[in-house]
């Protein structure tokens, strides 16, 4: 069996009993950086053969996993921190395994953006995880434009050298928003700093960041100025079926979809 295993995002004690059991029982472990994973394994006195699985060799690593799995080997896949695939290598591996009809499972654990969402104190009932923003300014703007009127909280990963750039892009595209910068999660110097996008984030930037940004207010969505019927028709005109158009319009307006349904019975 192939298991995608979540590993600690900072504090080495944040590893589950199942994860340790899987790592100890594995015949081989595929990891993002063998040196990084070796520190974790050494802390728990685990010695296993390590193979690299990073963004430059995912298909090759997946093919090797398939061969080993068909020999009956127990395989673990880990990234440097957190859950593989989520802003980390592994997506291509999953795709190749699915195409080859090779089963795999997940052993859950620490996740940085979920912790940051809690630490931010911003609404967490609905949120969208976007991950790292593109390096090119045009691509960043295009991506952020698609979330400009989204009502849910937005969550981003951000490298320290990109924090100021990304906050500026967020402000220019989304306008004024409440935000929170979370870093060093589970570590000694963990901090959660609220700020306004217009003000930026003060201080030297160190460590990996999660930026949590409040969603758009109802008044920021021009579609909410339409009647409920016109709102649903707008999305149907974009090619959505009535059911999906109702869901989208209800989300925009912050109301239950059955509240709009009775006004669109004849559509």
Examine the fold and report which residue of 110, 126, 157 is the final residue of a domain before the chain moves on.
Answer: 110
- Note down the domain range covering 123: 113-216
Q: What confidence score (pLDDT) does residue 220 get? A: 63
Asked whether residue 122 carries a pLDDT value surpassing 90, the answer given is: yes
Which token pair is 196?
């306004």
CATH of the domain at 173: 3.30.950.10
Which token pair is 243?
């059911």
Kindly state the DSSP code that residue 161 receives in the 8-state scheme. Answer: G
Domain-embedded: residue 234: yes
Domain-embedded: residue 158: yes
Shared domain check, 75 and 45: yes
- Domain count for the chain: 3
CA-to-CA distance for 232 and 111, rounded, in angstroms? 36
pLDDT band at 240 (very low <50, low <70, confident <90, very high): confident
Kindly state the DSSP code that residue 214 receives in the 8-state scheme. Answer: P
CATH of the domain at 38: 3.40.1010.10
- Determine contact, residues 96/67, Cβ cutoff 8 Å: no
Read off the pTM: 0.79
**pLDDT (tens digit, 9 = 90+) per residue, 24-63?**
999 999 999 999 999 999 999 999 999 999 989 999 999 9
Shared domain check, 140 and 65: no
Domain-embedded: residue 267: no
Domain-embedded: residue 22: yes
Cβ atoms within 10 A of the Cβ of 111, count?
17
Domain-embedded: residue 30: yes
Examine the fold and report which residue of 70, 91, 110 is the final residue of a domain before the chain moves on.
Answer: 110
């Amino acid at each position: 069996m192939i298991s995608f295993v979540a590993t600690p995002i900072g504090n080495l004690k944040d590893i589950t009993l199942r994860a340790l059991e899987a790592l100890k029982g594995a015949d081989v472990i595929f990891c993002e950086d063998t040196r990084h994973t070796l520190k974790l394994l050494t802390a728990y006195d685990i010695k296993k053969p390590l193979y690299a699985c990073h963004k430059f060799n995912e298909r090759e690593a997946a093919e090797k996993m398939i061969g080993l799995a068909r020999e009956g080997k127990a395989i673990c896949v880990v990234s440097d921190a957190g859950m593989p695939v989520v802003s980390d290598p592994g997506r291509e591996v999953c795709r190749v395994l699915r195409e080859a009809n090779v089963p795999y499972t997940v052993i859950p654990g620490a996740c940085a953006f979920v912790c940051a969402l809690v630490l931010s104190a911003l609404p967490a009932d609905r949120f969208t995880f976007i991950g790292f923003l593109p390096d090119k300014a045009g691509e960043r703007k295009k991506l952020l434009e698609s979330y400009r009127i989204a009502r849910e909280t937005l969550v981003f990963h951000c490298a320290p050298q990109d924090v100021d750039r990304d906050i500026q892009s967020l402000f220019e595209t989304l306008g004024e928003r409440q935000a929170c910068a979370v870093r060093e999660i589970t570590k000694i110097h963990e901090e959660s700093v609220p700020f306004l996008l217009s003000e930026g984030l003060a201080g030297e930037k160190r460590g990996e960041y999660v930026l949590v940004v409040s969603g758009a207010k109802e008044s920021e969505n021009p579609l909410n100025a339409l009647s409920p019927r016109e709102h649903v028709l707008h999305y149907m005109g974009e090619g959505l079926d009535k059911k999906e158009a109702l869901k989208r319009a209800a989300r925009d307006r912050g109301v239950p979809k059955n509240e709009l349904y009775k006004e669109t019975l004849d559509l």
